[in-house]
Amino acid sequence: MHPADIHSVIALPSGGRQQILPAKVVTSVAGDRDWKDAALQKPLNFAAKRLLDICVSATALIVLLPFLLAIAAAIKWESAGPIFFMQDRWGRSGRLIRIFKFRSMRTDACDASGVAQTRPNDPRVTRIGAFLRKTNLDELPQLINILLGDMSLVGPRCHVPGMLAAGMLYEELVKDYHIRHLVRPGLTGLAQLRGYRGPTDREDLARARFDSDVEYIRSFNIWMDIKILVGTLVKEVRGGTGF
């Protein structure tokens, strides 16, 4: 199902970026609309969430600036090409947002669409890139997206349009796929904390990711965000899970 085919019952804010979904969105998970209304009517929690996003992302960008510059220099030293990899992905309300990541692949081998997913020992990945991906440091530039308001620290994973799951379009595999775009995508989230990351080549894991996203939207509060952030930090300190 294309997002333009979804009709409206829940009012969502509009903005200046490209609008793919209509100004309102409806989905019918379990035929229950009430929980979606309740999930979005949490003004204090969403205000606290945005304040946390601004404070953490701004502070991290300032504190980590020397480290970020060192990573940028290492990328340029190993291979020719830009420092950042930029890509259009789904944002809140189905808008397309442009996200920033440190480039981890050779420029001549990059897949700008993002549909060709990375696999273990991917020959496209540089040596520096392999380290960045393993430690998830390649995603640090998304702090800029968070500061700008396109993303949040916590939320559903930021997917590329046309993403495949179990060999088919994600929105064809999972009914009401676009409900995950009711909120801002996150740098981390409940699905990642549970270990649902990497290639989406298995149907059961793809569905489990979506279920985790819906559970997050349904249950969101600021304390849940803090718990997910702390849990993510603990997992990364114990050993990166990317590739």
Residues in the chain: 243
Q: What share of the chain is helix, strand, coil (3-state, %, to 5)?
A: 50, 15, 35
Report the share of the chain in percent with pLDDT over 90. Answer: 57
Question: Does 215 or 6 have the greater pLDDT score?
Answer: 215
pLDDT at 190: 95
Residue 100 has pLDDT above 90, yes or no: yes
d(CA 108, CA 158): 24
**Could you report the per-residue pLDDT of 221-233, keeping only the tens digit for each?**
999 999 999 999 9
**For residue 137, what pLDDT band results from cuts at 50, 70 and 90?**
very high
What average pLDDT does the segment 205-230 reach? Answer: 95
Give the mean pLDDT of 22-31.
41
In which residue are the tokens 């990497």 written?
A: 198
- Would the pTM count as exceeding 0.75? yes
- The mean-pLDDT minimum among 78-82, 103-107, 128-132, 236-240 falls in 236-240
pLDDT of residue 7: 35
Contacts of residue 155, defined as CB under 8 A and 6 or more positions apart, other chains included, come to 183, 184, 185, 186, 189, 216
Residues with Cβ within 8 Å of residue 233, at least 6 apart in sequence: none
CA atoms of 163 and 56, how far apart (whole Å): 29
Decide if pLDDT at 23 tops 60.
Answer: no
pLDDT(33) > 70: no
pLDDT of residue 24: 38
